[in-house]
Amino acid sequence: MEPLSDDESTKIFFSRFPGNRSTNNQHSYEVSSEIIRKCGGFPLATITTASLLGRHQNWAEQCNWIRRSLSSNLRTDPTIERMKQVLSLCYNNLPCHLKACMLYLSIYKEDHIISKDDLVKQWIAEGFICAQEGLGKEEVASTYFHELVNGGMIQPVDINYNGEVLSCTVHYMILNLIRYKSIEENFVTAIDHSQANIRLADKVRRLSLQFGDAEYAAQPTKLRLLQVQSLAFFGLFKSLPSISEFRLLRVMILHLWGDKDNKSFDLTTVCQLFRLRYLEIVCNVTLDLQTKMQGLQHLETLIIDSRITEVPLDIVHLPGLRYLRLPGDTNFPNGIGQLTSLHALGSFDLSSNSADNVLNLGKLTNLQDLHLICSTMPSDNLEKKLQCLGSILSNLSNLKSLTMLLSGSSNATLKASASSSNICCDSLSSVSSPPALLQKLELLPQICIFSILPEWIGKLRLLAILKIQVMGLSSNDVDILEGLPALSALLLYVQTASTKRILFNKEGFPVLKHFKFVCSALCIAFAKGAMPNVRRLKLGFNANTLVQHNPVDAGFEHLIGLEEISAKIGNAGADESSRMAAQSALKAAFIPCRVNIKLVDWTFYGEKERSRKAQKEKPQTLEITNPIPDVITKEGSHERYGIGEKGSKQDTNKRSDNRCRLYSSLLLSLLVPYPLYSAHMSSEF
């Protein structure tokens, strides 16, 4: 990648901390300019150095120290050693708690996408995190994660509607640095398939076996497994060491895949790991879990992304279990309500689990994150379970996130599943005391529809993300939405278009940044001053509604903060000329802004985007796959976690080249405060 210009480097440099403190006097300006020049236009060096400055109160003194520490100009001496000098400087100035968290990342292989939620739980299980006054361990760990992101030490990949980083990766140069430091400090021992004869420390505390698809990889023969406290394995089943030899494990991460001869994998020996706190298993075959898990009394996190034969019945007797994530087609055992320590539960399938188990969720009073899915299309049985859900919501007083999605993840599956039947969710409208801490509410429009917007939504003062479908939109519904002070992302699906436009006034929506509206017609309008902070707008409507609701008359010009506009126009019986007219009218409504418009071969009725073929078909069961993600990811589920078909080195290089191009374009745009990689925003926008 070509080095940045001086102007681009300066812009990036000063974006990393508040205020242009270098302009206070001529000397500070000259010093900061010299530091920028010494970074040589290299984005990674510029960002990490600027972030190092931003962590110190005595800016002028730190600035002079950094200038003296950087002995050469990277532009004139762009060697790997000079770059290492910059990165080492930034790493060495991290506080001790961040150094430990940073070194831990060397357990992952290059280009691996790391989930933030999973990573902070691993840090907690490792004992890196202590609760602070007013903050629990997970909140403290999340703070550490964001400090590393803001410091440029890790790079964001996925970002949600609120700008929160959901996953990250580590730049290969930083990864090489922390691997070197880890070896020095015997912090993590990372071994690939070519290092069978590597010299090891007498005591290996954390072991990462990064074998990939090497068929004959094996651990070093002199490795003492009994002393290992953390194991991360990435490779084929047949290369995995015997789990029973790791008696002292606290953290175990297994990313496994097999070949045509491997149809299942036996993990019954896991019950012997009595110190285990964190267990994550991702694989592409069926797992045979042990029939009894009650011996894992210290287990806090259990994550399984694979088909499993069954869930052990005694899983409900694990007193310390706080985070449980199982495959979408899993039947949870009766007694799920006994897991009163649970903070997060997913993916709970409303279709396959009993109504009694839904009611038992009401006993999980510490639950903060509840992820529900539906693996079948709407039915009377599913409607009954939604009624049960409505009856227990008031009990979940600590709930912060409630999502309900289909289990199918592909767009083709979603379109094929759309039918004319939704479940009326008005039983959820009668919730007397909604969870006051709720920040995210996403109810899949393909399953749920409300006659009107539930009034209790107006009581959610902390609600930041709302995805919902209503039969029709009224002015009263808009009043409720406008009264939500924390709402930053609104995804609104309307089944039936109003004959008159629904007006959004200048009052309300003080922090709304993302707005999506899908209906058969653009039956909305915006007054001057409406939604002053909306940056991203997405629309979906049918071409044949242009006469009744022309976009030119909707007042889109009053959305003065718009930066990104996209729309899909459905065909709904319209001929080609009508579709072209709708496209032209939409462009005219946003002059001089550019609109990304896509003409699609289906019709919009709220969320129901149905192809003509799909309108004649009414499938009853959906393919069971991973839940719909909150964010766009370029990798599929197994590829994302390092599991997939064997790939060539050429494919790997191609992916790296693509990342470099994304990396470069985002740096120059500076649209987000995490400019090292192209961060993928939510798939809904």
For the stretch 536-565, pLDDT in tens is 999 999 998 888 899 999 999 999 999 999
- Looking at the chain, the whole-number percentage of residues with pLDDT higher than 70 is 75
Measured CA to CA, the distance from residue 520 to residue 498 in angstroms comes to: 10
Name the amino acid, one letter, at 310: E
Query: What is the pLDDT confidence band of residue 75, given thresholds at 50, 70 and 90?
Result: low
Structure tokens at 257: 């895949």
Question: Rounded mean pLDDT of the chain?
Answer: 80
Structure tokens at 52: 């190092």
pLDDT of residue 420: 45
**Does the structure show a pLDDT above 80 at 146?**
yes
**Does the structure show a pLDDT above 50 at 355?**
yes
pLDDT of residue 49: 77
- Domain segments of the chain: what residues? 1-93
**Does the structure show a pLDDT above 50 at 621?**
no
Does residue 608 or residue 366 have the better pLDDT?
A: 366
pLDDT-wise least confident of 211-215, 339-343, 442-446, 543-547: 211-215
**Does the structure show a pLDDT above 80 at 633?**
no
Query: What is the pLDDT confidence band of residue 233, given thresholds at 50, 70 and 90?
Result: very high
For residue range 424-448, list pLDDT tens digits in order. 888 888 888 999 999 999 998 877 8
Does residue 583 or residue 378 have the better pLDDT?
A: 583
| Residue 619 Cα to chain centre, angstroms | 30
Does residue 155 or residue 668 have the better pLDDT?
A: 155
Query: What is the pLDDT confidence band of residue 622, given thresholds at 50, 70 and 90?
Result: very low
Q: At what angle do helices 137-150 and 96-104 cross, to 10 degrees?
A: 80
Query: What is the pLDDT confidence band of residue 650, given thresholds at 50, 70 and 90?
Result: very low
- Within 13 Å, how many C-alpha atoms sit on residue 683's CB side? 10
For residue range 460-511, list pLDDT tens digits in order. 999 999 999 999 999 999 999 999 999 999 999 999 999 999 999 998 899 9
Measured CA to CA, the distance from residue 527 to residue 241 in angstroms comes to: 65
Beta strands in 407-446 (DSSP E): 423-424, 440-443
pLDDT of residue 26: 56
SS3 content of the chain, % helix, strand, coil (to 5): 35, 20, 45
Helix (H) or strand (E) segment spanning residue 311: none
pLDDT of residue 210: 92
**Mean pLDDT value of segment 371-397:** 87
Tell me which DSSP letter residue 683 carries.
T
Given a contact cutoff of 8 angstroms between Cβ atoms, the answer to whether 569 and 600 are in contact is yes
Locus of tokens 């990490």: 48
**Does the structure show a pLDDT above 60 at 672?**
no
**Does the structure show a pLDDT above 50 at 103?**
yes
pLDDT of residue 328: 81
**Does the structure show a pLDDT above 80 at 16?**
no
Given a contact cutoff of 8 angstroms between Cβ atoms, the answer to whether 619 and 413 are in contact is no
DSSP, collapsed to helix, strand or coil, labels residue 340 as coil
Best-predicted range by mean pLDDT (37-41, 294-298, 375-379): 294-298
- Looking at the chain, the whole-number percentage of residues with pLDDT higher than 90 is 45
**Mean pLDDT value of segment 398-408:** 88
Q: Is 612 exposed, middle or buried (0-12, 13-18, 19+ CB in 10 A)?
A: exposed
**Mean pLDDT value of segment 160-167:** 89
Query: What is the pLDDT confidence band of residue 28, given thresholds at 50, 70 and 90?
Result: low
Query: What is the pLDDT confidence band of residue 196, given thresholds at 50, 70 and 90?
Result: low
Assess whether the previous peptide bond of 347 is cis (omega < 30° from 0). Answer: yes
Measured CA to CA, the distance from residue 369 to residue 402 in angstroms comes to: 6
Structure tokens at 561: 């903060």
For residue range 578-600, list pLDDT tens digits in order. 889 999 999 999 988 899 999 98
pLDDT-wise least confident of 39-43, 99-103, 370-374, 392-396: 39-43
Measured CA to CA, the distance from residue 597 to residue 153 in angstroms comes to: 37
**Mean pLDDT value of segment 171-200:** 84
Query: What is the pLDDT confidence band of residue 643, given thresholds at 50, 70 and 90?
Result: very low
Q: How many CB atoms lie within 10 A of CB 51?
A: 21
**Does the structure show a pLDDT above 50 at 419?**
no
Structure tokens at 108: 């992952």
Measured CA to CA, the distance from residue 518 to residue 606 in angstroms comes to: 5
Assess whether the previous peptide bond of 592 is cis (omega < 30° from 0). Answer: yes
**Does the structure show a pLDDT above 60 at 284?**
yes
Structure tokens at 59: 């800016």
**Does the structure show a pLDDT above 90 at 100?**
yes
- Within 13 Å, how many C-alpha atoms sit on residue 358's CB side? 23
Would you say the pTM of this structure is higher than 0.95? no
